[in-house]
Amino acid sequence: MKTEISAPLQRTRMLTLIGTIITQFALGSVYTWSLFNGQLAHKLDAPISQVAFSFGLLSLGLAIASSLAGKLQERFGVRNVTIGAGILMAIGFWLTAHADNLMMLYLSAGILVGLADGAGYLMTLSNCVKWFPERKGLISACSIGAYGLGSLGFKFICGALLSTYGLENTFMIWGVLAMSMIIVGALMMRDAPIQQSSGNAKLQEKDYTLAQSVRLPQYWMLALMFLTACMSGLYVIGVAKDIGEGMVHLTTQTAANAVTVIAIANLSGRLILGVLSDKMARIRVISLAQIVSLVGMSILLFTRMNETTFFLSLACVAFSFGGTITVFPSLVSDFFGLNNLTKNYGLIYLGFGIGSVMGSLVASVFGGFTVTFSLIMTLLVISLVLSLSIRLPNRQNVSEPLLHN
């Protein structure tokens, strides 16, 4: 039976969606970071690899803040936390503009900007999904798609600012622009209402607190699947150009086209799998994404690649990664309920931060791509088996009342 939604409530929902999209677009701007590595390395007289480490810290800060954002939202509300995230991001970029050593860069661009991005990203996404329980996949696709488009849009904005105003001024303008968009978006948002059971036992059975969720095997099965998807996607995306030059012997210019292929495939995965997840079981969408990623990793690991198969492998991995991180918030809500989604998904989202460094760590310890690809392939096979065998948790697994935080 379809529930009628009043006009004021529908207006609130749509304003929250628009505000979330604006905010996510601004938050996604951090993924233009590679544009600045060269100039920062020259300014600080440091190797590019050490400068680029700031983005690894940013990814880690993003994941940690995402896992804590649910507590902040409970205390201050989605609007206030988002405004705070926008202000913190502007402060981080202002300090980055004035950074004169690596430690200050790590603190400002890495930790502060990462914490700001994470505080806003998962919380606003989860809040928006809660407003649209009947279209969770589509809303996730819109929100996370906006985050991906932000990296593409700000690539041109920051590129133009760099050529016109220079490095320091670009960081300050970027910070003010991102902060303004985030605050405008925040003012349009409202906290989603708690999902009421209305006597529906099925809905009541599905609402697990974080303390209850972590005692279920399904929680850790999903966590491993998410970690695997992030590790495979982030590692391959991060070294795509190097794979093209080192393994396929492409020219630097041709290998650089990997960035465009990855961006298109990533966005396609977010939109296609996000919409598909409203039309079929979400765990089957994840299984499909895992199979696509396995195809891409098999090409990388077992074939003698040419230009076409190289770009095809990247497209498979990026498509799977984009789709997985889009579908997962709704998938977690299917398993553990909507009311505690920010907390339940927040802990799983730490896999993004771990995955962002795990692939590079394995590669640096064991040397070369082959060992890392083999590990990712093994984890993907395990994840596929888990996704095909996992079942929704049973009410009898939990002894506490389910609707208390």
Question: What pLDDT is attached to residue 250?
Answer: 81
Higher pLDDT, 395 or 356: 356
pTM: 0.79
Q: Which of 260-264, 290-294, 305-309, 323-327 has the highest mean pLDDT?
A: 290-294
Measured CA to CA, the distance from residue 360 to residue 366 in angstroms comes to 10
pLDDT band (50, 70, 90) for residue 238 = confident
For 220-238, the DSSP string reads: HHHHHHHHHHHHHHHHHHH
Question: What pLDDT is attached to residue 380?
Answer: 96
Q: Which of 91-95, 276-280, 398-402 has the highest mean pLDDT?
A: 91-95
365 burial level (CB within 10 Å; 0-12, 13-18, 19+): exposed
Q: Return mean pLDDT, the chain.
A: 87
How many residues are present in the chain? 405
pLDDT band (50, 70, 90) for residue 403 = very low
Q: Are 71 and 160 in contact (CB under 8 A)?
A: no
Question: What pLDDT is attached to residue 25?
Answer: 95
User: How far apart, in Å, are the Cα atoms of 47 and each of 42, 92, 97, 101, 152?
Assistant: 8, 22, 18, 12, 26
Stretch 122-139: mean pLDDT: 89
pLDDT band (50, 70, 90) for residue 254 = confident
pLDDT band (50, 70, 90) for residue 346 = confident
